[in-house]
Structure 1
Amino acid sequence: MPVKPSSELSGTSSVKGRILSRHTVQHSGMVWLHYYIKTSDGPILVRVPQAEYVCFCATKDLLRLQALPELAKVRQVELSLTNFNGDPVTAIYTSSSQVFRHVIRGAVDLAIPLFETDVRPEHRYLIERYIALDVEFIGQLEPQTQGELARFTATRARKSAVDIQLKAISLDFECSMSGELYSVGLYGKAMDVEYKKVIMVGSPKQISSDESTIADDQTDYIQWVADERGLILRLIDWFDEYDPDIIIGWAVVTFDLALIYRRAKLLGIELTLGRGGTVLSWKVPDKYRPETLSLPGRVVLDGIDWLKAAFYRFDSFSLESVSRALLEEGKALPSGEKGVQNRGEEITELFHHDKAALAHYNLTDSRLVWDVFKKTQLFEFALERSRLTGLELGRVGASVAAFNNLYLPHLHRAGFVAPAMAMSQGLESPGGYVMNSIPGLYKHILVLDFKSLYPSIIRTFLIDPKGLIKGLSEPEADNVDGFLGAKFSRDSPILPELIKTLSEHREEAKAEKNAPLSQAIKIIMNSLYGVLGSRGCVFHDARLASSITLRGHQIMKQTRAWIEELGYQVIYGDTDSTFVWLGQDPEDIDVDKIGQGLVKTINSQWKHKLDKEMKLACHLELEFECHYEQFFMPTLRGSTEGSKKRYVGALTNNEGELQLVFKGMEQVRSDWSPLARRIQESLYYRLFSKQDVMAFLQEVVNDLMQGKLDEELVFSKRLRRDIADYTAKSSPHVKAAKMMCDFSGSERFSKRGTKVEYLMTLNGAEPIQYRQSTIDYHYYLTRQLAPIAEPVLGLLDKRFSDIASKQMSLI
């Protein structure tokens, strides 16, 4: 492993790279930090010796803490830092994880608060140095034997910037219904060159089949092994040969890696899939989750988790559904989409009779996952998120940990340690502002949005955990009033400065058209309020969260007042959006000019108001989001009161076509039938384009009652828990799942995650593959079509019952 000489220290060298995984290792009575990094010359294990577990205690409590026998085994150092109560603190260091845990438990028994006990050494070492993803270590390269992973002993580290390509592979297993491995598909692409491999149990003699859709000469990517043991051993060798940095898949942790772990354990095979011959393991036995996976030197990204982290939304996150939505391509089973319910049986059938087709199916699944990652730029998004937050590459969620990584090093340099627990005792902050709507059908509605409202409030009004503690003790003239008695210091606030830096980086990312970075920053900025409002965060304080949300209420109300003073009517407002009606349809209306004029006026008024009344620089920015040429705000069902978070807008898109936007309506809810969603979109399209609604509905009702629309009546819903754990067994999809178990004799349909497709019949919900009764068309007429049709018909002074009763009279 080539290393570069360091000009700073004689006899030392350095390595630069991208951190793949982090670990704390207890060895020979000493704590070592292990960092597997990818350098331009390949992977290397960097070891930092003589590390310690660290927490803090108020110095005044040390005497009581001396009652613990473990305290004789720790190093104590008085610091110039204080806790949020202003008490000086002492750092407690230990080189034993066991002693550290005993000290924490003992302090709990003595009711002595300890601070920052949850920050692990391998993370603290990096965040205190502002190191996130890319790093330079200074130290010495260790002697190594041929073929051994290079190792480097580091004495120092600092943040760096590197441009290193990580090597990824998409992995997917096929197995029997009982979990026995059939094959593993491996797919990747680098420099437009495809890598394809399927390791399969069997022999080339089994490849030919008269009925196979896959030609023999198209299966050269198959590597044959004698049995399941051979498959696992070959995969272990493959990992050593191909040596990927990143593994991607679909439910790749909870299914694929959990499956091979269990099968290897059953067969007594040491599963050395990590770098340097390290084993794949789980931090919590039998808990196969991304946060419990340990795979040294490699990163695992699950497609489902990362799509959700990037705020993608689908009715279903199955690979079939997502790939069809994004790639217009689905799985490669011979039966196509019709094989969904019996996919397990079909895979077994292919394994025994058409292994060429099974290999093609297996490899296609791997490729689809790869193509989804590329289409949505998830690789780039994951890298940017880690680079911004300091979270371990591949760690999804963890917004509290991300906040701590960003905030703690600045807090320590400001002279404080983090609190031991959340400050609020049951007092919670209100949610975002939602205005009572004025229902009706409108023309020319402008939507004005505050750009990143909550981050802008934090930055403008200096909302900050440290600022709150200092502000409460400062003279009133030196701070900014918040809500619930909060006061924020004007002196060097941390969180507003972090928001400023993130905002500037986001503008740069947008200018450079770096969509993954822009999206990552947006999500992180918006999560900062959520963290402060969460009891799981030690910085949680209702005064902080309320000073954000209640300030948002104030801003929205004042903005509405200013707009209405200008002669326009605000018909609705929600969190950061204001809906402005321009009035009766005037001639030659210049909507863009009005919208931009409103934005300019309101922004100027906020700037003036905050400077004059609070001596604050205003970072609130109202934007002209869109213009709905037609807009419908419904009433609550059975009421004249306007609804909230529900509307339909129509606008002309860039292609000159009428485009509908649904918010909170049945159209965007997966618990309504495909028929209801299709008809709702068609109804509003006809309403806004002035087409005949009544004739359309009459035709739909006729087709429904004649059984012509049966394929659109199927409900699809997944079990969120095992059937045995449901308390309300009357839920239609739960009843249908129970029938699936009873008729099939298989308990697999009772498990969490099972997709249940069912119809409503005269005997209630029944699964489509085991339906016994007649479809209840009256249910679909009155419970699916009527609720979505009545708001539209009400605008036309019509009633759905007129159509339905006419049809029912013909039966």
Structure 2
Amino acid sequence: MSREESLPASVKGRVLSRHLVQQSGALCLHYYIKTAQGPVLVKVPNAEFLCFCATSSVDKLLSSPGLGYVRTKALTLQNFESQSVTALYCQSRQNYRNLTRAGVDLGIPLYESDVRPEHRYLIERFIALDVEFSGEFISTPSTDALPVFMAERARKAELDISLNAISLDFECSFDGELYSVGLYGMSGEQPYEKVIMVGDASAITQSATPETDEKSKAAAYVEWVQDERALILALVEWFNDYDPDIIIGWAVVTFDLALLFRRAEKLGIKLPIGRGGEQLSWKVADKFRPESLSLPGRVVLDGIDWLKAAFYRFDSFSLESVSRTLLDEGKAIHSVEHRVDEIAQLFAHDKLALAHYNLTDSRLVWDIFNHTELFEFAIERSKLTGLELGRVGASVAAFNNLYLPHLHRAGFVAPAMATSQGLESPGGYVMDSIPGLYQNIIVLDFKSLYPSIIRTFLIDPKGLVQGLSLPDSDTVAGFRGGRFSRDNPILPQLIKTLSEHRELAKKESNAPLSQAIKIIMNSLYGVLGSRGCVFHDARLASSITLRGHEIMKQTKVWIEECGYKVIYGDTDSTFVWLGNDPLEVDADTAAKGLVEMVNTHWRERLLSSMNIECFLELEYESHYEQFFMPTLRGSTEGSKKRYVGAYTQQSGELKLVFKGMEQVRSDWSPIARRVQESLYYRLFSKQDVKLFLQSIVEELLSGKLDSELIFSKKLRRDISDYKAKSSPHVKAAQIQYELSGNTSLSKRGAQIDYLMTVNGAEPVEYRKSNIDYQYYIERQLGPIADPILTILGESFSSMNSNQLTLI
């Protein structure tokens, strides 16, 4: 029996990458999948570009000169204007470009023209990550080559296939010449460690540099190569041997892979590090971004992007900062700030120490991914949305993936563009606060408020189109003229399914899945409110946000009818003051009673007034024993989205929670954030505030706190792109760039550490002027001290002149 005859007629796997390939005048879909037996390339022949056009416009469109062959098919589908539509198919990229250009020139809308064939094939079959293809294997050049499967059909599957990953990190000279590459992963239960290093092993053995445990271990995992060319070739061979499914790193696309590509190009070396010997390439020349990367058969996950996608927040997303915060461990180097120079020194004089540093960086990224469960989060997100594994952002694409197949089965195609009609939806409800110092504040939150509103009030793009032509009795009223059909709405059903899956994930303690669902559910409103989404309609978004306003206002009324005071409300949270006497009322009992009352009122109200089932659910979020709501600066009016709360932990320690204050903002100096936390701790602990402030100012003026005066801020664009250079960090960056000659310090993303001096902002490394201590007193300490001093009948300016005798 031949190899091909012994293989099954179906193959199941996890989709790693998707491609549309044009060969010999025909389009073919390529899916690189990971099966239980290994990687397979699946080919789906006879692919076509597809879009839709109103049937009444087809003849005019196709009469446009130079189109080429366009296949048409009459459908029972219609657009949102209730016109019948025809499917248009093209068998080449050029024909499709000609077709879409003709549509624009003639003003004829083409529906769903931006959905690529390799994605449409999967989403129309409700396939996200796991798939089963039916067809047959075809012969391959050798038993070592990637197996190729020619598919005839595909269907959704549920699989548990593990993917092997590697953490990759390059070290290089100032001008980009490669020194080494660190590779870290797991081989079974044991760590996999490898560094490919330019150098001579015999010279290292004879080195007089002292040995350490780290260097002794490094000698075992270093592969020595002659030069940079040999390093790149050895890495290509390594990819062929180790064959990872996933590559992770820190800025791994924009730095490491981009650097590898540029150095290989400079040396005239090809990079066949994709599956089946496919080349690493970029879809747009010189645009080294994740969306333009092409690496067939492999997934690339950047640690920074995925932490942000999972809603992690850090003052700095540098590897040093994040690893210190999450792992309590940092880079294996003496000076992170001067690491470029130190790396060069290590390469010249202590390559084993450099290897240890290189591998440590790779391991730190791996440990961060494990600690935050980013591997699992990325997989669950792809399973839920149908987005390519590794694609971050793309909330609009995720919405389309979820919505379009249901919309087609309901008889509609998506609109060609967003509808606004000159109206825009307001944001979330934010109540005017009642400033002051309180005891016994409880916070009541509506669980997933916007998704719950969508589900309860049947808010749905298809439902809006249908509802506008139905009698009022057959619809649920929205806002700004919106009315929604009660008949099989799509979006509320998707919310229902996601909600049920999230509850199951919580019961099973599947945190990555629960978080992925939460983020997706909360993004649905944002998508409908975005002009970048073709389903955007102000009547949709307003029917969500204005309903939220109504719910928050009515909830406040019901709570205050119980004798309590609502001092603030924000989007989905209500802050209730129970009174300053903790013995008068039990906070937990009162909160649970209010939750039950409000939820019952909403269920009864919506059933009786609108005949709909209520999915709004108020929850008891937290209890602050002490709470401070500040005023706006220079005003008696209460602030919004800014407060400090305190509660006693089980250990007996007082825990402070800051919202919107300088404490949680990275653009304030470390001294301001530390002093603010200390001030509120003293306020809530009934300790002396004024004496503390006096001691801080005295230490500041004596120069003892200089290390806490450094501002750190990143450039959001290249220095040359800033029209005005008045921002302190931009001025400091310009000085640093000019004096150092380091062009990287003038580029977007460069972190600038600077101090405010008597001559303005100056970079820390090149400061020539005296520190302007008065600036820190007036601009940093004053604004954070005044809200507290006001409660005590003082002001920072009066203390400044009367008690602290500041100059």
Q: TM-score, normalised by structure 1?
A: 0.97
Assess if the C-alpha contact under 8 Å between 2:694 and 2:804 holds in 1. Answer: no
> In the alignment, is residue 423 of structure 1 matched against residue 426 of structure 2?
no
Which 4+ residue blocks in structure 1 deviate beyond 6 angstroms? 1-6
**Pairs aligned (count):** 803
Partners in 2 of 1:650 and 1:630 — Cα distance? 5
> 2:316 corresponds to which residue?
316
> In the alignment, is residue 545 of structure 1 matched against residue 541 of structure 2?
yes
1:72 Cα shift?
A: 5.3
Secondary structure in structure 1 of the residue aligned to 2:441: strand
Assess if the C-alpha contact under 8 Å between 1:457 and 1:620 holds in 2. Answer: yes
> In the alignment, is residue 75 of structure 1 matched against residue 74 of structure 2?
no
Taking only aligned residues, the RMSD between alpha carbons, in angstroms, comes to 1.7
1:348 Cα shift?
A: 1.1
Partners in 2 of 1:792 and 1:185 — Cα distance? 51
> 1:239 corresponds to which residue?
239
Q: 1:588 to 1:206 in 2, by over 3 A?
A: farther
Assess if the C-alpha contact under 8 Å between 2:4 and 2:138 holds in 1. Answer: no
1:219 Cα shift?
A: 2.1
> In the alignment, is residue 171 of structure 1 matched against residue 168 of structure 2?
yes
> 1:665 corresponds to which residue?
661
Matches within 5 A, 1:703-782: 703-782=699-778
1:809 Cα shift?
A: 3.7
> In the alignment, is residue 222 of structure 1 matched against residue 218 of structure 2?
no
1:385 Cα shift?
A: 0.2
> 1:793 corresponds to which residue?
789
Matches within 5 A, 1:479-518: 479-518=475-514
1:807 Cα shift?
A: 6.9
Assess if the C-alpha contact under 8 Å between 1:762 and 1:773 holds in 2. Answer: yes
Partners in 1 of 2:640 and 2:193 — Cα distance? 51
Assess if the C-alpha contact under 8 Å between 2:631 and 2:638 holds in 1. Answer: yes
- Amino acid of the structure 1 residue aligned with 2:507: A
Secondary structure in structure 2 of the residue aligned to 1:702: helix
Q: Deviations over 1:404-444 (max 9, x none)?
A: 00000000000000000001144211000000000000000
Secondary structure in structure 1 of the residue aligned to 2:405: helix
Assess if the C-alpha contact under 8 Å between 1:14 and 1:140 holds in 2. Answer: yes
1:205 Cα shift?
A: 3.0
Could you tell me which of 178, 181, 186 is aligned with 1:189? 186
> 1:583 corresponds to which residue?
579
Q: Which has the higher mean CA deviation after the structures are superposed, 302-311 or 788-797?
A: 788-797
- Amino acid of the structure 1 residue aligned with 2:27: V
Could you tell me which of 684, 691, 701 is aligned with 2:687? 691
> 1:210 corresponds to which residue?
209
Partners in 2 of 1:44 and 1:230 — Cα distance? 30
> 1:149 corresponds to which residue?
146
Assess if the C-alpha contact under 8 Å between 2:800 and 2:806 holds in 1. Answer: no
1:805 Cα shift?
A: 2.7
Partners in 2 of 1:779 and 1:72 — Cα distance? 69
Partners in 2 of 1:599 and 1:206 — Cα distance? 73
1:655 Cα shift?
A: 2.9
> 2:399 corresponds to which residue?
403
1:51 Cα shift?
A: 1.3
Q: Which has the higher mean CA deviation after the structures are superposed, 12-21 or 537-546?
A: 12-21
Partners in 2 of 1:416 and 1:469 — Cα distance? 10
> 2:344 corresponds to which residue?
348
Q: 1:810 to 1:251 in 2, by over 3 A?
A: closer
- Amino acid of the structure 2 residue aligned with 1:631: F
Partners in 2 of 1:69 and 1:12 — Cα distance? 48
> In the alignment, is residue 381 of structure 1 matched against residue 371 of structure 2?
no
Assess if the C-alpha contact under 8 Å between 2:51 and 2:111 holds in 1. Answer: yes
Partners in 2 of 1:121 and 1:206 — Cα distance? 55
1:5 Cα shift?
A: 10
Q: Which has the higher mean CA deviation after the structures are superposed, 746-755 or 758-767?
A: 746-755
Partners in 1 of 2:304 and 2:582 — Cα distance? 49
Assess if the C-alpha contact under 8 Å between 2:215 and 2:353 holds in 1. Answer: no
Partners in 1 of 2:422 and 2:469 — Cα distance? 24
Q: 1:137 to 1:597 in 2, by over 3 A?
A: same
> 2:283 corresponds to which residue?
283
Secondary structure in structure 2 of the residue aligned to 1:25: strand
Assess if the C-alpha contact under 8 Å between 1:310 and 1:520 holds in 2. Answer: yes
Assess if the C-alpha contact under 8 Å between 2:420 and 2:537 holds in 1. Answer: yes
Q: Deviations over 1:320-377 (max 9, x none)?
A: 10000000111111x24xx41x221221111111111111110000000000000000
> 1:199 corresponds to which residue?
196
Q: 1:3 to 1:251 in 2, by over 3 A?
A: farther
Assess if the C-alpha contact under 8 Å between 2:578 and 2:585 holds in 1. Answer: no
Q: Which has the higher mean CA deviation after the structures are superposed, 186-195 or 491-500?
A: 186-195
- Amino acid of the structure 2 residue aligned with 1:712: E
> 1:45 corresponds to which residue?
41
- Amino acid of the structure 1 residue aligned with 2:784: I
> 1:118 corresponds to which residue?
114
Structure 2 portions without partners, runs of 5+? none
Q: 1:807 to 1:345 in 2, by over 3 A?
A: farther
Q: 1:211 to 1:739 in 2, by over 3 A?
A: farther
Q: Which has the higher mean CA deviation after the structures are superposed, 482-491 or 742-751?
A: 742-751
1:598 Cα shift?
A: 0.1
Could you tell me which of 162, 173, 178 is aligned with 2:159? 162
Structure 1 portions without partners, runs of 5+? none
- Amino acid of the structure 1 residue aligned with 2:510: N
Partners in 1 of 2:5 and 2:389 — Cα distance? 28
Q: TM-score, normalised by structure 2?
A: 0.98
1:746 Cα shift?
A: 3.0
Secondary structure in structure 2 of the residue aligned to 1:60: helix
> 1:26 corresponds to which residue?
22
Q: 1:356 to 1:550 in 2, by over 3 A?
A: same
Matches within 5 A, 1:598-609: 598-609=594-605
Q: Deviations over 1:688-727 (max 9, x none)?
A: 1111112211111111111111110100001111111112
Assess if the C-alpha contact under 8 Å between 1:446 and 1:628 holds in 2. Answer: yes
Partners in 1 of 2:520 and 2:233 — Cα distance? 41
Partners in 2 of 1:663 and 1:530 — Cα distance? 22
1:742 Cα shift?
A: 2.1
Assess if the C-alpha contact under 8 Å between 1:212 and 1:357 holds in 2. Answer: no
Q: 1:93 to 1:597 in 2, by over 3 A?
A: same
- Report percent identity of matched pairs: 69
Secondary structure in structure 2 of the residue aligned to 1:557: helix
Partners in 2 of 1:801 and 1:667 — Cα distance? 21
Secondary structure in structure 1 of the residue aligned to 2:479: coil
Q: 1:212 to 1:69 in 2, by over 3 A?
A: farther
Q: 1:425 to 1:231 in 2, by over 3 A?
A: farther
